[in-house]
Structure 1
Amino acid sequence: MIIISTQTKRENIFLFRITNFTGAYVEISNYGASIVSVVVPDQHNKLENIVLRYNNLEDYLSDPYYMGATIGRVANRISNAQFTLNRQTFQLDKNVGNNSNHGGYNGFHQKIFDYTISGEELTLYTISKDKEGGFPGEVNFSVTYSFSDCNELCITYRAESNQPTPINFTNHAYFNLGGSNKSILEDLLWVNTKQYLETNAEFLPTGKTCSTVGTAFDFGSYKKIKSMMPLKQDNLQGYNAYFMKDKDYKEDLPLASIRNEQSGRIIDLYTTIPGVLVYTGDFLSDPFIPFGGICLEAQFPPDGVNQSSFMSNILHPGKIKTDTIKYRFRCRKEAPFDHRPKD
């Protein structure tokens, strides 16, 4: 069931609640096509919101953290805020130092989306105009949300463009499975890959793909995030790391998973996208706390448009690009399927 309500006096901004038969629900705003709440049970059947959120819309309008937002046109950083495509160089918004990040100043996170409802699916859609943020081409974009009776939140992105242009969509929800104002560093993380991208001090890939085995990035089994951090040798206490799918990755397996021992809650991430950016919320501050939420941002490699060795994320005219992110919320008391990481 989908219920619509206005968030404030702004008549064109709405909050949508999608409820399944168990009473669990998610809330989505058409401002930034954002995830506002994910209310799911713990191992004692207690319903609780497990994503960071603001309590009023005005805070979302000035939000520096991309709280729950849909990110585009291009998620993450583009070095020197420029790229060359078909022998033409495009200059982008410099909104993080000398680099462009998350679509620049007018990214999808600040757009008011139109909407349609079909059955139990909510579709939010918008047009990104030619040269918006410096990117070429007019892009027709939509994101569809659904929430199943098995507590699976499915996000499907769809885009088409009238010019060749880079695209890289993701969601920027901060998850906290133990409840608000608690650190996520005691949570256990599992990432189903053996490779990650080396980055420099600006969190830009150097172009080198590294093995996770035996490193601070080795989450080949569930490991407490806090226990792995002392092994790191970069300039960040926590993680802002991109993990790439292995060549033999099987799409029916989770790419990543987070587990909280106290609540028993688990998130499994499934995606058609080639990798995941794990961010531990190091830079969160008031009204939140550092490490108060963790992001599992399924996305193409950062700065991929400037790295010829990375998978192409160029959308060409006449083509339709679709990708899916699915978060499955479950509890340890549930019997795990064989294909899931074992508890």
Structure 2
Amino acid sequence: MVDETTSASAKSVIVEPFGETEGREVFLYTLTNKTGMMAKITNYGGILTHLYAPDAKGRFEDVVLGYDNLQDYIDHSPYFGALIGRYGNRIGGASFTLNGQTYELVKSQGENTLHGGNTGFHGIVWDAVPFVAENGQGLTLTHISPDGDEGFPGTLSVTVTYFLSDNDELSIDYKATTDKATPVALTQHAYFNLSGDLGSEITGHLLRLEADRYTPTDDRQIPTGDLASVKDTPFDFRHMRPIGEEIDADGEQLSYGGGYDHNFVLNRKGRGLELAAVVEEPTSGRRMEVLTTEPGVQFYSGNFLDDSYRGKGVVFGKRTGFCLETQHFPDSPNKPDFPSTTLKRGETLRSQTIYRFGVIKKHR
């Protein structure tokens, strides 16, 4: 994790106006490392709007779906690049019981709560402080979510730090404390397309997941509570293979999400940072590794994107982006056998995810 006490002046981080919402100014922050890689982040929703990564020939292209203006993010965004909280993914029935008390949450997807409710962390203006360190540039975002926000108990204080290192790694560090026990699950919702052609399908990308099991869902996409083996199923990404190879295979699990939209149980050895996924795009030669301290990752293949999503000069149609949302499991507050997401008073939640960029060896 980044030690901000070593930070120097933030003069090298470009800060630009990005609009205004609900009486608050919004800014766009551009982080650049010594190799030329660049990340643009806005304090509205903590959104990663652009991420320029080199291909095998050293050409930099944007590899995340998104918009060029604030209003499109406010009006019509499927969480493009956003920070997600208080609870990433779904909570079934928009309710849970904690310490004998039942809490009713805001319903944001049918009868469920999705990604923290209607005004989750993706839809608020964060306080932001850019900084420069010896090995890269960063942005620290802070927010205090009041007791009862979207139905969740406790006043939650959250700090999220983006850091673009000179090693072509974009790290995201999460920290949270509360004054009352509450479920917390924070994540990042970037839609990646490593080809650099953001209007093209991602089905030809090659994917490997460090997961022997996944969590099947019911028809509401709420986990059943089972941990199912991926062996001999379309969910077996233990070896590198195309995302689209079995994406339209018969079976109720793929039909529920119109493709992949499932939590994979990572093969963790401990509590530290471990490899979760590897993605390669054969044409551009780009390679991305995902490392995390989280127990799971939601692999979403962009099945619900359609021609109504237009940004950066292209149409973001079905399966033009994929998400690898590192996370605790969906509906954990209602699944006692899942890893707990309860944060208690006096405790500090700490989590880290790194997206590491490089090129496929054969392209070098």
Counterpart of 1:57, as a letter, is L
**SS of 1:305 mapped into structure 2:** helix
Tell me the residue number matched to 2:262: 241
- How is 1:324-339 mapped onto 2 (pairs within 5 angstroms)? 324-333=352-361
- Superposed displacement of residue 14, structure 1: 0.5
> What secondary structure is seen at the aligned counterpart in 2 of 1:282?
coil
Q: Provide the alpha-carbon RMSD of the alignment.
A: 1.7
TM-score of the aligned structures, taking structure 1 as reference length: 0.94
Separation of aligned partners in 1, 2:113 and 2:155: 19
State whether structure 2 residue 301 is matched by structure 1 residue 283: no
Contact 1:43 1:333 in 2 (8 A): no
The match for 2:33 is 20
Count of aligned pairs between the two proteins: 336
Please show how residues 262-281 of structure 1 align to structure 2 within 5 Å.
262-281=283-302
Q: Report the equivalent of 2:211.
A: 193
Whether the aligned pair in 2 keeps the contact of 1:281 and 1:293 (CA below 8 Å) is yes
Moved more, 80-89 or 118-127: 118-127
Which position in structure 2 is the counterpart of 1:98? 111
Equivalent of 2:221, from 187, 203, 209? 203
Note if contact 1:185-1:224 (Cα within 8 Å) is conserved in structure 2: yes
SS of 1:133's partner is helix
Shift of 1:55: 1.8
- The answer to whether the 8 Å contact 1:157/1:322 transfers is yes
1:275-305 CA deviation, whole Å, 9 max, x = no partner? 1000001001222201010000001000000
Which residue does the alignment assign to 2:3? none
1:6 aligns with 2:27: no
Query: Once the 2 structures are TM-superposed, how far is the Cα of residue 71 of structure 1 from its aligned partner?
Result: 0.2
**Aligned-pair CA distance for 1:226:** 1.1
Following TM superposition, by how much is the alpha carbon of 1:117 offset from its aligned partner in structure 2, in angstroms?
Answer: 2.6
Q: CA deviation at 1:9?
A: 5.7
Per-residue deviation at 1:247?
4.9
2:329 alignment partner, SS class: coil
Q: Does 1:77 align with 2:90?
A: yes
Distance 1:289 1:88, change over 3 A: same
Partner of 1:340: none
- Among 244, 258, 272, the alignment partner of 1:226 is 244
Counterpart in the other structure of 2:326? 298
The Cα offsets for residues 99-146 of structure 1, whole Å up to 9 and x where unpaired, read as: 111000120000100012332321011110100000000000110010
Would you identify which runs of 4 or more consecutive aligned residues in structure 1 move more than 6 Å? none
Which amino acid in structure 2 is aligned with residue 238 of structure 1?
A: G
Instruction: For residue 158 of structure 2, give the secondary structure of its aligned residue in structure 1.
Output: strand
Quick one: structure 1 residues 245 and 333, their matched pair in 2 at CA, closer, same or farther if it must change by over 3 Å?
closer
Q: Distance in 2 between matches of 1:214 and 1:257?
A: 20
Task: Name the residue aligned to 2:177.
Answer: 160
Structure 1 position 217 matched with structure 2 position 238? no
Asked whether the 8 Å contact 2:13–2:131 carries over to 1, the reply is no
| Secondary structure at the counterpart of residue 254 of structure 1 | strand
Which residue in 1 is equivalent to 2:275? 254
Matched, 1:107 2:107: no
Query: Residue type of the partner of 1:291?
Result: R
SS of the aligned residue for 1:60 comes to: helix
Deviations 1:178-222 (A, max 9, x none): 121000011111001101001111111000100111111000111
Q: How much has 1:253 moved relative to structure 2?
A: 4.3
Gaps in structure 1 of 5+ consecutive residues: 337-343
CA deviations on 1:63-116 (whole Å, 9 max, x unpaired) are 340110000000111111000000000000011111111000120000100012
Within 2, Cα distance between the matches of 1:247 and 1:146? 24
| Aligned residue number for residue 339 of structure 1 | none
Distance in 1 separating the partners of 2:114 and 2:65: 21
Uncovered stretches (5+) of structure 2, i.e. residues with no partner: 1-11, 311-315
The letter for the 2-side match of 1:279 is: Y
The change in CA–CA distance for 1:247 and 1:175 in structure 2 (over 3 A counts) is closer
Aligned-partner Cα distance in 2 for 1:112–1:299: 22
User: Structure 2 counterpart of 1:317, which letter?
Assistant: R
- Return the offset for 1:333: 3.9
